[in-house]
Chains A and B, each alone.
Chain A
C-alpha cells in the first residue's frame, strides 16, 4: 500500500514516481513489483546485520514516501534489519516473514488476457486462497490457488465446460461457510449455428472442489439453464458467509440475468447439497433489471435462514440515462419463498454511460452501477454501487454529432454505500458517498466485504479509481485500486480513501474485466481483506489487450 494522502497528492505522487524510478534503476529491480515474488524473497530471510541507519544520500529522505512493501523491499535488499526514521526505530522483518501488503502477481502470463478475477479465502484456514478469472484467447476460465496465504500462486486448471467447444465467461469463486467446499460459477457459452448469423446460447454452471482448489469437477452442473429464447448472463454465487453450521454449510445460491424475448429477468437457483444439484430457477424480478448478486444471512434453524438478492433497475426513464434503482428481495426460508421487492436505493442520480468517459475514450463502464452486497455477522446488510453525479447527454458517453450533443465528462462515477439493519431488509439508509476526489475522476466497480477485527465487524469497500490519471493529461487513462472502511458506531463515516495497489494501470479501449472482488477469512490472526483486480500496470496503450491479475492482502485497522 502507498501511504501518501490526498493532501498534496499531485506533488507527492509525482515525487514518489520519480523516486521509485530512480530506486528501480539503482537496485536493478522494479521495486513496486518484486517485493512479493516468492522466489526472490525466500533466500533473503537469512540476511542479518546489526541495527544500522540507511545509507545517507538524497534518496533516503524519500524512503518514507515509498509504499510499505517497496520500502521494506529496499531495506531488505540492503540487508538492513533495523533503521531509524524521524526518530522512530523500525525493525525490518526477514523477507520470508514480510506481511504481504504489496501487490502480488496471480495470473501474469504475457500471452493470455487474464481479467475479471474473483477470489475466495478459506474461512477457517486462510493459508488456502483460490482465484478464478478469464483467460481470454484460450476460451477458458483459469483457476489459481495459493497455499501460503496469498504469498505465491500457482495455476491449477481450466474450469470444465458443458460441451467441449464451449467457451467460458464470468467466473466467480466462493468457499462454503465451513471451508469444506470451493464453488466456481461461470457461463458455458456456445455458437449453436456454425453458419451465419451467429447464434449463441449459454448455461450458468457450477463446478466445485473439496480439497481447497487442488482438483475440480470433471463435468459442471447446470444451475440456471439457457436454450432457445433464454440467454443467462453474468452469474454470481454466494453462501451464508458468516454463519457456518449444519444448516448452512451445504447451502449455496446463484443468481443471473436471463435475457428472454420479453426482456431481462433476475433468476435465482439454490442448492442444499453443496452444489451437486440445483433447484429450478425462480424469477425474482423482470423489467429493466440486471446485475444481481445473492448473499446468505442469519440461519436460525433448518427451515429458517436468510437470503438476500439485490440488483440494478433502470427505472422508467430507461437504461443508461436518467436515474436508477437498486432493488432487493429477501427470503426467510433459505430462498424457498420470497418477500416483496424493496427499493434499497430509489431514483439514484445518475446512470453511468456505457463507456468510460471522457467522450467514451475507455472501457465498458456501465456495469459499475450493479450492486456488490454483503451481510455481516451482525446481520447488517451492506451495498455499494456507482452513480454519476454529472450525467452525460448521451447514453454511450460518446459525442453525438447527429444531435450535436457532447460526450461524457471525466467525472464519470463515484462509489456509494447503503446499509440495512436486518431481516427482512425493508429499510435502507440514504446513499453515502465513499469515494472522494477533487477534481473529480471516475471511481467504480466497487466491492464490499466485512472483516471482524477485535470483535468489531469492519466494513471494507474497494474500487477502481482513476484519480491516479491526474498527471497524464488524459483523464481516466490510468486506474488504481483504492479502499476505505467504516464500522458500527461510525455509520455514515468512512476512512479517507487509501490507495491500495502499488502501481497505476492503463485503461483499456473496451474491456478491463469489469469487476474486482474481495474476500475475508473468519480467523482473528488474519486481519486482512483479500483483494483481486485486473492489472494493466505494464501497459501504456488502451489498444494493448493483454491483462494480468494481481491481488493484495489489505490489513485492516
Chain B
C-alpha cells in the first residue's frame, strides 16, 4: 500500500504541470472570401470535437461602419459536448492592424466582462451547432483613440471561443484563454 501511495502521489505531481500548460495545437483550413461575405481561417486543435466557423457580411467596410459577424460552433465529434461560459462572453473578438497591434477588443465595449453572475451551460449533440451574431463597430475600443474610426487599411479579425469545454483542455491563444480561434481579414476603405 505504501508503494502504491508513493506511486500515486508521484504520478499525480508529474501530471499536474502537463495538465496546466497545455496549449492549443493549431491547424488551419482554407480562407474563403467572396465579394459579399468572408469566412474565417480556423486555428483548430486537430483532435478537438468543436469547430469554430466565422462569417462577416462583407470584406470591405468604411471607417466607423458596423459589421455583422456570425460565429458558429459545431460539435463534429461523436459525443455530446458541454460548454461553460460567462453570460455575454461565449466569444471574444479582437481586430489587429497591419502591425498586429490590437485596435479593437470586443469585451471593451460592454459591461459583460465585469459581471459576477453565474456561468451558463451549453450542450451540443453530435452534429449540432450554436450560432451567435455579434455587431462590431469599426472603431478603436481603448487608448487615446478610443471611439475614433479605424483608419483605412487591412486588418485581421480573430474570434476566440472562450468557453471552457468539459473534459477538453483549452489553452492560451494570442494571450487569450480560449478553446479555439478563427481569423479572417477585412479591409477598411476611405469613404
Contacts and interface: CB of A to CB of B under 8 A. Distances in A.
Contact of B175 (A113, A134, A197, A398): A398
B133 A197 contact: yes
B5 interface: yes
B133 A200 contact: no
B117 interface: yes
B133 A543 contact: no
A136 B119 contact: yes
A116 B135 contact: no
Contacts of A208: none
B17 A394 contact: no
A541 B19 contact: yes
Interface in B46-98: 82, 84-88, 96
Nearest to A469: B16
Contacts of A401: 174-175
A196 B102 CA distance: 26
A541 B132 CA distance: 29
B175 A394 contact: yes
Interface string A531-553: 00000000011111100000000
A543 B179 CA distance: 11
Which of B15, B85, B172 has the largest count of A CB atoms less than 10 A from its CB? Answer: B172
B93 to A, nearest CB: 12
A447 interface: no
A22 B2 contact: yes
Which of A116, A360, A545 has the largest count of B CB atoms less than 10 A from its CB? Answer: A545
Interface in B4-42: 4-6, 8-9, 12-17, 19-20
B176 interface: yes
Contacts of B125: none
Given A259-B111, A264-B114, A200 B88 contact: yes
B181 interface: no
Interface in A352-398: 354-355, 359-361, 364, 367, 394, 396, 398
Contacts of B111: 231, 259, 264
B131 interface: yes
Contacts of B113: 354
Interface residues of A, number: 62
Contacts of A196: 131-133
Interface string B152-177: 00000000000011111110101111
Contacts of B119: 136, 510-511
Interface string A202-242: 10000000000000000000000000000101100000000
A167 B120 CA distance: 9
Given A18-B6, A402-B100, A509-B170, A136 B118 contact: yes
A332 to B, nearest CB: 30
A185 to B, nearest CB: 13
Contacts of A361: 20
Contact of A544 (B14, B102, B167): B167
Contact of A234 (B12, B116, B174): B116
Given A22-B2, A196-B131, A233-B115, A474 B17 contact: yes
Contacts of A472: 12-13, 16
Given A170-B117, A264-B114, A355 B84 contact: no
A170 B87 CA distance: 13
A116 B118 CA distance: 8
Nearest to B133: A196
Contacts of B167: 541, 543-544
A290 B114 CA distance: 9
B172 A360 contact: yes
A399 B121 CA distance: 27
A245 B70 CA distance: 58
A280 interface: no
B9 A355 contact: no
Contacts of B117: 169-170, 187, 189, 202, 233-234
Contacts of A170: 116-118
B186 interface: no
B16 A474 contact: yes
A17 interface: yes
B172 A399 contact: yes
A511 B100 CA distance: 31
B144 interface: no
A477 interface: yes
B124 to A, nearest CB: 14
Contact of B118 (A169, A264, A402, A540): A169
B1 A22 contact: yes
Interface string B122-143: 0000000001111100000000
B172 A359 contact: yes
A340 to B, nearest CB: 26
Given A290-B116, A542-B19, A399 B175 contact: yes
A541 B9 CA distance: 15
Contacts of A116: 118
Nearest to B84: A545
A547 to B, nearest CB: 11
A543 B170 contact: yes
A25 interface: yes
A189 B87 contact: yes
A391 B32 CA distance: 43
Given A136-B118, A196-B131, A360-B172, A471 B13 contact: yes
A157 interface: no
B177 A511 contact: no
Contacts of B133: 196-197
B106 to A, nearest CB: 11
A58 to B, nearest CB: 9
Nearest to B82: A545
B113 to A, nearest CB: 8
Interface in A455-474: 471-474
A398 B9 CA distance: 29
A474 B22 CA distance: 12
B1 A473 contact: no
A407 B175 CA distance: 9
A137 interface: yes
B121 A542 contact: no
Interface of B: 1-2, 4-6, 8-9, 12-17, 19-20, 82, 84-88, 96, 100-102, 111, 113-121, 131-135, 164-170, 172, 174-177
24 contacts: A196-B131, A196-B133, A197-B135, A198-B132, A233-B115, A257-B116, A259-B111, A264-B111, A290-B114, A355-B177, A359-B172, A398-B177, A399-B172, A400-B175, A402-B96, A402-B174, A472-B16, A473-B14, A473-B16, A477-B20, A510-B86, A511-B86, A544-B166, A545-B164
Q: Nearest 8 CB-CB pairs, A to B?
A: A474-B16, A169-B118, A21-B5, A234-B116, A196-B133, A472-B16, A259-B111, A509-B164
